Amino acid sequence: MPFRKTIHFILQTIVLGLAAAFVYVLLIEPQLLKHDTNVVEVTETPAAPPPATPASGGPSTAAFNGPGAGPVSYADAVQRAAPAVVNVHTAKIITRKVHPLLDDPVFRQLFGDRFTQSRREIQTSLGSGVLISKQGYVLTNNHVIEGADEIQVLLADGRSMEATVVGTDADTDVAVLHVDAASLPAIVIGDSKRLRVGDVALAIGNPFGVGQTVTFGIISATGRDHLGITAYEEFIQTDAAINPGNSGGALIDANGELIGINSAIYSRTGGSQGIGFAIPINLAKGVMTQIIEQGHVVRGWLGIEAQDLTPQLAETFGLSGMNGVLISGVLREGPADSAGVLPGDVVTSINGQAVADTSSAMKVISGQKPDTVILLGGIRDTRPFSLKVRVQQRPQQAGLGN
């Protein structure tokens, strides 16, 4: 009997000891129960606080959606820029004949000229523009005011006034107008060279004549060329809705600064399809300055037609892996012809600087002052050549030639 009590006491002590050990491991040293396995550690961004509500009367751009997010509203940017965006109304007198059949000799013999007189009509159109200075200069598109007999500018504050044409440049589709009025607003000019794909863009204009309208998007691309819209192309592409009537209006950034002049859209229906093009303000500003100071734009010109040296063309000419432009045509008695440039030449450098494509070559040539001598380097019949060419001023009717 004492032996059985002893065994029972020993077993009871063991069970209590195991239970105490289990409780200790479970509560005090839980890591002893884990297996030796790989553990993935991740760092998560703390939950964003709810957007702050701007104080009454405070700026709407004070509310953000969290770290790195854009403002909830761009009302401040629009408020800064919108007063300087104007509506441009043009009127043009056109002459129409009543009917072609009335020019028939038999009809005229019977009835004389009483039915064959022409009828005059007034053709109107709508566009937009941007007040660029308090002196009254307005930037718009050349195609907005081309051929107009009368131009009226309607300001955002309701004032309407007649505008005069300071000058135009069809090669970039830029026109400069002037209005004579006091207390004019002026937009703040930005820097289009600093634009990045993905930056916010806002288009302000007068689409379809409904009145001043703001649309929102981003910069879809920069430096767009080879579109066949103008001779000198360096367009900003945006998906901010641009429609007929927006032409000449402002493309602004999130700070309300002018970064482009809305110019064209890609559309199969006549409305916005998310592909709009604007003239970079740096380009438009340079053209505007020349128009105001000189009355016209002066550009260098060689009298050549050129095309990009594609990999296929390079292989054909035995120039694989080389960049440059292929001279496809030379104007007789032009600067290039007088210097000895021939069709089929491949120009790879201008003044020692490599030429990547036709667009870059055109910019370099057009930027030269007339009577400047430049050095063309390239390949002719697989052999290197270099020629000095005296640049002339580009004629007004030079088309798309360089």
Phi/psi at 51 (5° precision): -55, 135
> 204: closest CA among 187, 220, 185, 221?
187
Catalytic residue among 169, 173, 239, 253: 173
173 is catalytic: yes
- Pair of tokens at residue 203: 């288009």
Contacts of 249 (CB under 8 A, 6+ apart): 85, 127, 128, 129, 130, 203, 204, 205, 206, 261, 262
> 324: closest CA among 302, 367, 353?
353
Q: Is 305 helix (H, G, I), strand (E, B) or coil?
A: strand
Distance CA 232, CA 400 (A): 8
Phi/psi at 6 (5° precision): -65, -45
Where is 109: in which H helix or E strand? helix 105-111
Residues 157/285, Cβ–Cβ less than 8 Å = no
- Pair of tokens at residue 184: 């004019």
247 is catalytic: yes
Q: Is 327 helix (H, G, I), strand (E, B) or coil?
A: strand
Distance CA 303, CA 284 (A): 24
> 166: closest CA among 174, 154, 158?
174
Catalytic residue among 125, 247, 272, 366: 247
Distance CA 376, CA 387 (A): 5
Catalytic residue among 89, 125, 143, 192: 143
Distance CA 339, CA 374 (A): 11
Going by their DSSP bridges, the two strands 174-178 and 164-169 should be labelled as antiparallel
C-alpha 359: how far from its chain's center?
16
338 is catalytic: no
Contacts of 117 (CB under 8 A, 6+ apart): 98
- What is the sign, positive or negative, of the torsion defined by CA atoms of 158, 163, 166, 172? positive
Where is 360: in which H helix or E strand? helix 358-366
Residue numbers annotated as active site: 143, 173, 247
